[in-house]
Amino acid sequence: MKWNKYKLKTTTQAEDFVSGVLMELGISGIQVEDNVQISQEDKEKQFIDYLADLPEDDGTAYISFYTEEDDNAEQLLDQLREKLKEAKSFINVGEGSIEKSTTEDVDWVNNWKKYFKSFTVGEFFIKPTWEEVDEEHKGMKMIEIDPGTAFGTGKHDTTQLCIKQLVEYVKDGDKVLDLGCGSGILSIVAKKLNASKVDMTDIDPAAIEAVYDNFKVNKLSMDNVKVEAGNVLEDEKMQAEFEAEQYDIVVANILADVIIPIAGIVDRFLKPGGVFISSGIIYMKEEEVKDAINNNSNLQLSKVVNQGDWRAIMAIKKLGKSEIRCIDFLLKKDQIQEDAVIIIGSDVNHIKKRSQNEEGRNHSYKRRRRQGICLYNR
């Protein structure tokens, strides 16, 4: 089906007035174009990370509206012109010229699918559900995705950054929390990396349905998997639930302006030594996110990686007292409390020595099967 598009040239001053006139004339949907800069308040409300530079605002605005191709719109246009003529006595409606064009009726909900093609990220082959697996990739770990209207095909740089970090950090049996799960792709990756439990949340109800569909198409059980709609920043009950779980990994692929407040509470959801993986961070927001992490005394900034203009920033929850942890990555001094005893061995499995502190108390060290660093906080 085709539509007639009418584009009216007016002024930014008259935008609201003209929009109201069109609604009175029975036009229910309009499109407004101008070069008015968005306010900082609106930017924060909409979680906008980046805006392209606009030309200087010269006061010109264009308002477009549509009618069906077969509709005779001349009467509507005559009424509109008359309304604009009357309004000139009290408001600057500008030129008031109207251009007509014809546009195709596009299925925007599904049109994006023609651009979503199979691709690989590390050991994973990610494909849309409507494509077949080629011979070249049959031996790889496969993820099938149909995000619907939820975010998360896996194609975006930020999602790929997260997938790579999940591959690096997730160990067998880990508990993973996915904040802003979208289609569920990162949780699917975690499950395929043998996470024992995965919890997800998203503010978009469409994401919940997409998660169930994508777990089903990937033949993954929903046992020990929970997904719920909600805002973790505002829902104290949800925060309490996550705090009670104590996750090994928390991943958030959202936007910098959301990650910044999350950084202030995420330590509550992590086990000591647990890893916070954050992405969705445009390069000019990197320092703000790092500052937010550094402002949380329980987190230690550990790594920043980039892909294109985007960043993933990792942090580790510092180890507190009374924990024994074996960590198979380089431990930094400021990741632990001052009174920790650190034992470094080439094979921690062989460490079963006893250490005696200044007061003469003995402390036993359990056997571990990992190489790395064993530390005991007394």
Starting at the edge strand found earlier in the chain, the sheet holding 119-121 runs 119-121, 124-128, 141-145
CA distance 203 to 151: 11
- How confident is the model at residue 298, as a pLDDT? 96
Does the fold of domain 152-317 match that of domain 2-105? no
User: Average pLDDT for residues 224-236, to the nearest whole number?
Assistant: 94
Three-state DSSP at 217 gives helix
- How confident is the model at residue 36, as a pLDDT? 82
- How confident is the model at residue 51, as a pLDDT? 56
152-317: which CATH number, 3.90.380.10, 3.40.50.150, 3.10.50.40, 3.40.50.620?
3.40.50.150
- pLDDT tens per residue, range 2-15: 788 899 999 999 99
- How confident is the model at residue 113, as a pLDDT? 60
pTM for this predicted structure: 0.62
- How confident is the model at residue 126, as a pLDDT? 83
| Phi and psi, residue 322, nearest 5° | 70, 25
CA distance 141 to 125: 6
User: Average pLDDT for residues 322-347, to the nearest whole number?
Assistant: 44
Judged on CB neighbours under 10 Å (0-12, 13-18, 19+), 155 is middle
Q: At what angle do helices 157-169 and 185-192 cross, to 10 degrees?
A: 20
- How confident is the model at residue 45, as a pLDDT? 53
Cβ contacts of 27 within 8 Å, gap of 6 or more: 65, 76
Tell me the fold of 2-105. Alpha-Beta Plaits (3.30.70)
Is the pLDDT confidence value at 39 over 90? no
Cβ contacts of 200 within 8 Å, gap of 6 or more: 177, 178, 181, 184, 187, 211, 225, 226, 227, 228
Q: Where are the domains of the chain?
A: 2-105, 152-317, 324-377
CA distance 249 to 177: 6
DSSP string, 233-276: TT-HHHHHHHHHH-EEEEEEES-HHHHHHHTTTGGGGEEEEEEE
CA distances from 308 to 189, 251, 299, 303, 311 (A): 22, 20, 26, 17, 8
- pLDDT tens per residue, range 169-225: 999 999 999 999 988 999 999 999 999 999 999 998 888 888 998 899 888 999 999
Mean pLDDT, all residues of the chain: 79
In the chain, where does DSSP find H-type helix?
Answer: 15-24, 40-45, 74-87, 108-111, 157-169, 185-192, 205-217, 236-245, 256-262, 286-294
**Interstrand relation of 141-145 and 362-364 (parallel, antiparallel or unpaired):** unpaired
- How confident is residue 326, by pLDDT bands cut at 50, 70 and 90? very low
Is the pLDDT confidence value at 138 over 80? no
